[in-house]
Amino acid sequence: MPLEDDPTLHLGSAADCRSRFLSLRAQGVVPYGLDTGVVLMADERSIASLNEFDERNPPHVWAVDVEYDPETKDYPAGYEGVFEVRTHALIHGLYVALGSGFMNPVEVWELTQRYKREGVVGREEVERGHDEL
């Protein structure tokens, strides 16, 4: 999986990440099988989650929906085109769901949010949604 470690991206936003990915896609440099509809983004909080064990900040990165465009598409309430993905769900969950075409980014987000709507409380709510991916 290609990683882009570009100092100009430091403190960039999800919109910047999305724009950069779309530019790379247009140039034809996104490898086959990796254009899944999201690009993964790490910010200071997610990098800290990977470096230090903290139950309040479990290991995660952000999935940025590269097609997110609220001006031309309707989305469920609360969906902002960026959502947290726990690292344990990246390969066998997120990649399989999106790469196979079984789900789209909005459906993945809805799955990770389902337990919050059903009233499951605490850390388990997000873990269950990620485990179902």
0.85 exceeded by the pTM? no
- Is residue 113 within 8 A of residue 80, CB to CB? The reply is no
Is the pLDDT confidence value at 70 over 90? Answer: yes
| The pairing of beta strand 38-41 with beta strand 60-65 | antiparallel
CA neighbor of 84 nearest in space, from 132, 129, 30: 129
Angle at 91 between CA 86 and CA 92, to 5 degrees: 95
Residues 8 and 125: their CA atoms lie apart, in Å, by 35
Reported confidence tier of residue 32, pLDDT bands at 50, 70, 90: confident
Q: Which two tokens stand for residue 17?
A: 């990440």
- CA dist 68 to 20, 39, 40, 53, Å? 14, 12, 14, 32
- Where do we find the tokens 């479990």? 58
- What does residue 6 show for φ and ψ, rounded to 5 degrees? -115, 120
Q: Quick one: pLDDT band at residue 132, thresholds 50, 70, 90? A: low
Q: What is the number of other CB atoms lying within 10 angstroms of the CB of residue 17?
A: 21
Residue 50 has pLDDT above 70, yes or no: yes
Q: What is the pLDDT of residues 88-101, one digit of tens each?
A: 889 888 999 999 88
